[in-house]
Structure 1
């Protein structure tokens, strides 16, 4: 869902208005669900949640409160939450992936309410309906040839750009900058396995050229993802990033000062931008099947496994806190890897090889 800056600013003003209105209310005695709602959003703002994150909580919780109607939040049970999630799935046709985030938002909301109300158990705990869906057994990934094309194609097109093809110098320079930036995003994702949402949030201070690495930081308190890690880059990539930063000096705006990758007009990249460029350059390379940005991360992991990386190193490189996440979601051996292991450890190894 797209949130316009105007809508977010209007919503932030509403939070401030209701903060003043309900500031003196003792939540231990409050019966109005909407007072809990606005006090909760004010609390999220106070502890540092960003405007777009607040807007997502606003949308999810407002819909839930409208659904329960006049029923008090203090009387909501597990059965009510299950019915609501089934309503989203069966009647609103919300995809399971999105329903999971609705459940998490409601759970955090009730965790806040439990600090003031006599609720012993969070109604979102141990639900009797399926929220987490298993990952497909077969992961989509790019072939070696496709990976090579994805990296080379932007550079090839960069060489073919001619000033006479553009009406103004601004559009000419903008096209050159955009291709260079998209090339670097693709290159970083392919060579480091960085998540699409992480690459758009890298800050200039995360770029550490002397150590040949980038610092990757994850927002929030993720259960399975490392809060902070480093990914390694080559000297050539360092030089290319430094050249990009030089091009950005004249286009940066105050709102994009904390982003390494920005649009030519100076704005921040959205979290869906990597998906857009992967689809675009895949099409330019003649790849006709459906592709998406996360396929690059799957490809990165698959190639590491095929090249014999150990599981502990794989966990670190993928940015996981727990080994079980790596084993469950990413360590899916390819036919090539299975055949290699069979040849290596077969009791009749000599006969197999021959």
Structure 2
């Protein structure tokens, strides 16, 4: 019992270390406390009296137990990360001479492919705008530009008039890390933006500002405001997928790669610092090709017919 009290005290010290030395959030700290509480209980059940007695086999058995409780791979990986960090801390404090997690590989996480709109769905969305009012024209311009450029919603709403170069059909934007990039937008988006600047923005303008997209009060359009506009327009266009600004960005990248655009160019347009982030869209493209094959190739159709009659 005394050993358990010592372990719990070290856990409290570790959580303090996370807050002060590592600067982790309260939510992360609570996750560590919950995951490591179960781990310390397991060590007690194994009659382990000192952290130096913990071996790789103990942790592997604990991870198997977690799987047995129904935890998924992502949750087990999170538990292992907490245990690994805890033992690193114990080594720093000279309470443990080695980290028993060093030879344990983290479970391989499958990366979920983001859902995207089909080209037909995007066309239906963009053709659903009427442009009858200044707000309608502004909404069309925002959504048309978002899909034409692949911008993040924060980048879209931060655009100023000086960032738009319609004669050259490109825009300048600032992304993560305040990095500036040039993004082509094409003729259709340029035309809609021209109409917005000439007809709609002067009606929405209530005070002097360089911000491109304004709400009905003449203030910069908010993320929440744009999200509501997009959801409403998707409903009007009969799109049943849960549409978000980021889903349009995913759709932009996926459609480019499906049409043969080089991955490096897509990386540059999206503003990704690491190409591995962009590579997810090649996987999505392969999934799309596989789906097309299964729906259209005669041999795939013949196999389906054979399976249905067997």
Q: Same fold (TM over 0.5)?
A: yes
Pairing partner for 1:259 from 211, 224, 235: 211
Shift of 1:302: 1.1
**Map of 2:201 onto structure 1:** 248
Moved over 4 A (4+): 80-84, 88-91, 328-331, 338-341
1:231 aligns with 2:206: no
Q: Which runs of 5+ in 2 are unaligned?
A: 1-11, 35-100, 102-108, 294-310
1:149 aligns with 2:124: yes
1:181 aligns with 2:181: no
Equivalences for 1:301-320 in 2 at 5 Å?
301-320=253-272
Query: For 1:271 and 1:90, how far apart are their aligned partners in 2?
Result: 34
TM-score (structure 1 length as normaliser): 0.50
**Map of 1:215 onto structure 2:** 172
Range 257-266 or range 287-296, more displaced: 287-296
**Counterparts in 2 of 1:331 and 1:257: CA distance versus 1, 3 Å:** farther
Shift of 1:330: 6.7
Equivalences for 1:80-99 in 2 at 5 Å?
81=24, 85-87=28-30
**Alignment partner of 1:241: what SS?**
helix
TM-score (structure 2 length as normaliser): 0.57
Pairing partner for 2:159 from 179, 199, 202: 202
Q: Which runs of 5+ in 1 are unaligned?
A: 1-67, 92-127, 129-133, 162-175, 342-354
Q: Contact 2:254–2:281 (CA<8 Å) still a contact in 1?
A: no
**Counterparts in 2 of 1:194 and 1:89: CA distance versus 1, 3 Å:** farther
**Map of 1:6 onto structure 2:** none
**Counterparts in 2 of 1:149 and 1:236: CA distance versus 1, 3 Å:** closer
Query: For 2:121 and 2:143, how far apart are their aligned partners in 1?
Result: 12
Query: For 2:226 and 2:148, how far apart are their aligned partners in 1?
Result: 15
**Counterparts in 2 of 1:195 and 1:310: CA distance versus 1, 3 Å:** same
Q: Contact 1:263–1:269 (CA<8 Å) still a contact in 2?
A: yes
Name whichever structure is richer in helix by fraction. Answer: 2
Q: Contact 2:134–2:203 (CA<8 Å) still a contact in 1?
A: no
**Counterparts in 2 of 1:304 and 1:325: CA distance versus 1, 3 Å:** same
- For the pair shown, which has the larger CA radius of gyration, 1 or 2? 2
**Map of 1:279 onto structure 2:** 231
**Counterparts in 2 of 1:248 and 1:310: CA distance versus 1, 3 Å:** closer
**Map of 2:77 onto structure 1:** none
**Map of 1:297 onto structure 2:** 249
**Counterparts in 2 of 1:267 and 1:330: CA distance versus 1, 3 Å:** farther
**Alignment partner of 2:217: what SS?**
coil
**Alignment partner of 1:259: what SS?**
coil
Equivalences for 1:49-60 in 2 at 5 Å?
none
1:266-312 Cα shifts (integer Å, max 9, x gaps): 01111233322221111111223322121111111111121122221
* CA RMSD after TM alignment: 3.7
Query: For 1:135 and 1:319, how far apart are their aligned partners in 2?
Result: 24
